[in-house]
Amino acid sequence: MSNSTIDPAILAGIPQRPPFLFLERIIERSAQELHCQNLLTGDEDFFKGHFPGNPIMPGVLLQESIFQTGALLMSDQAEGKGVGIITRVDRVKFKRLVRPGDLLDIKVKLNDVIDSAFYMQGEIRVAGELACSLKFTGTLLKESR
């Protein structure tokens, strides 16, 4: 993935960049929900070692895809005043292997905001089939630079 194929709103909303950016397009956006996509080409570095001859996207990177979507949703809520970080993860479930060529549909819903805590839930589907789901909490880290 190169910066030229990434939705500029993603680049403006979160600090991650390739090769550690796992969002490509924004499909639908509201104050409470965000739907992004990422097409896995098979050229991603993590497929080279996880696992040679049987490439599978690591579960932690599926989670990171959801977290990046959540961070983008938090940045919308906070008008870009800080970087979204994760403070808690609950009820992680992996239901389907994710492989090269898969199109990830990543959806995050904001359930509540209490003080500086953003309570969210997210999921990834591939061809309509649930691949990963979780609940998580995030907050905004004020940039010190």
Q: Catalytic one among 25, 29, 35, 50?
A: 50
For residue 55, the 8-state DSSP code is: -
> Minimal CA–CA distance to 123: which of 139, 105, 137?
105
Residue 50 appears among annotated catalytic residues: yes
Buried (b) or exposed (e) across 1-13, using 16+ Cβ within 10 A? beeeebbeebeeb
Retrieve residue 137's tokens: 């909490």
Residues annotated catalytic, as ranges: 50
